[in-house]
């Protein structure tokens, strides 16, 4: 009886691994989503994330200069410092920033509900890709960089 119970338990555990998606599948999906859009993130591209995406975005793109939109998440403490306060935007305060972005592309990797209002106010934003509830939005530079005439 005990060996049968052990076999039944092992079969159930194996079936659960195959039949129930794990949280790792979401993490690896986000990683694939970010890597597939890496061509839009140049060294001078301004990167915007939210509390849910910030860690993955900074890790995958090797960036320590991301801006935050709508929610701070675990980064609330660090964003409270005077030299970092400018890195946080509400849905309203990012609109003027995007309107004056100059020669830099801006990409926002945020949840769809956090970017909808911004896309209405800044219509040149283009949803490049989507994964579940996330949107990868590109705001192209307003003007091209001009070489120094020295």
- State the pLDDT at residue 16: 58
* pTM, two decimal places: 0.74
Tokens of 149: 């005439």
Q: Contact, 45 vs 65, CB < 8 A?
A: no
C-alpha 90/C-alpha 78 separation (Å) is 17
pLDDT band at 82 (very low <50, low <70, confident <90, very high): confident
Mean pLDDT of the region 65-90: 82
């Amino acid at each position: 009886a005990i060996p049968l119970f052990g076999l039944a338990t092992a079969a159930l555990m194996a079936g659960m691994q195959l039949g129930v998606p794990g949280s790792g599948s979401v993490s690896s999906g986000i990683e694939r989503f970010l890597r597939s859009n890496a061509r839009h993130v140049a060294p001078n591209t301004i990167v915007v994330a939210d509390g849910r995406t910030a860690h993955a975005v900074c890790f995958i793109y090797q960036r320590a200069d991301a801006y935050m939109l709508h929610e701070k998440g675990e980064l609330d403490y660090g964003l409270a410092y005077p030299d970092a306060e400018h890195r946080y935007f509400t849905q309203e305060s990012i609109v003027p920033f995007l309107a004056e972005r100059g020669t830099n592309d801006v990409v926002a990797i945020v949840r769809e509900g956090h970017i909808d209002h911004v896309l209405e106010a800044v219509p040149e934003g283009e949803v490049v890709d989507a994964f579940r509830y996330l949107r990868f939005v590109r705001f192209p530079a307003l003007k091209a960089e001009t070489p120094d005439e020295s």
